[in-house]
Amino acid sequence: MAARKACGGALMRPLTPKSPQWDIFCRVIDNFGDIGVSWRLARILAYDFGQPVRLWVDNVHALAQLEPAFFAQHRTADQTPTHAPIEVIPWTHPAPPILPAPFVIEAF
């Protein structure tokens, strides 16, 4: 499947059968309630329903404090934790040029 062009001409990665089916966005505001709910939802979708999930977090360190074992075990070369079927992605501006999943949730 060929890559598609987004607005502005940036290449976007097409979805494949193994691509995430859910994008969950979480802006950490206070304490651990917001990231806790988002993390729990990602885990339920991934482990209870077998759905690949990308969890976009603006404060990855808050999630690392909540789930230190996950972060210690699952790191890529760029130190971003990933564990199929959950991929944790730092939510930065501008966002990387990827296609959204069929289901998108802005949790907080």
DSSP bridge pairs for 11: 5
Domains of the chain, by residue range, sit at 19-103
Task: Evaluate the omega torsion of the peptide bond into residue 81 and state whether it is cis, within 30 degrees of 0.
Answer: no
- pLDDT band, very low/low/confident/very high, at 99 (cuts 50, 70, 90): confident
Say if residue 105's pLDDT is above 90: yes
Percent of the chain at pLDDT > 90 equals: 35
Sign of CA dihedral 75, 24, 68, 50: negative
Which residues sit opposite 98 in a β-bridge?
Answer: 13
Statement: the pTM of the whole predicted model exceeds 0.75: no
pLDDT digits (tens, 9 = 90+) for 42-95: 999 999 999 999 999 999 889 888 888 777 766 554 555 556 688 888 888 787
